[in-house]
A = this chain, B = another copy of it.
Amino acid sequence: MLLRIDVNSGETLYSQLSNQIKYGIARGYLVPGEDLPSVRGLASELGINMHTVSKAYAMLKEEGIIIINRSKGVKVSEEALISRDDDYGKIFDKKMTELIAEGLCNGYEKDQFMHKANQLFDEIGGK
């Protein structure tokens, strides 16, 4: 899977990486069990520091999305698409509430929100 980062996006590099990997899994570009590049390999490929990649991986590991083995490497968790963390519910609620509130302040009513969600799910290929 192709990963790209933009140093001028305002978003931190590790956050960009983390988000793109999540998107890749959601989209099916990355499948559970699949190996991910090594921290050194990916850092070299992207032209960034090893620790920046390591931090992105650590965050994904914290969410249970990837599995890190100290000597074997990194792979997508077999349960990457399965609900497992109850604490995530609150985080998800907060994020969605923020998106809804901000959307409403920009003229996105419920109908439009739902329509856009449908559209994006279709693009991603979610069930």
Contacts and interface: CB of A to CB of B under 8 A. Distances in A.
Nearest to A126: B110
Contacts of A114: 114, 117-118
A109 B99 CA distance: 18
A97 interface: yes
Contacts of A120: 93, 96-97, 100
Number of copies: 2
A107 B81 contact: yes
Given A23-B97, A23-B98, A104 B126 contact: yes
Contact of A126 (B85, B102, B109, B126): B109
From A23, A88, A101, A124, name the one whose CB has the most chain B CB atoms within 10 angstroms: A101
Interface string A105-127: 11111110110111011001011
A12 interface: no
B81 A105 contact: yes
Contact of A96 (B80, B84, B97, B116): B116
B110 A92 contact: no
A92 B100 contact: no
A81 B73 CA distance: 49
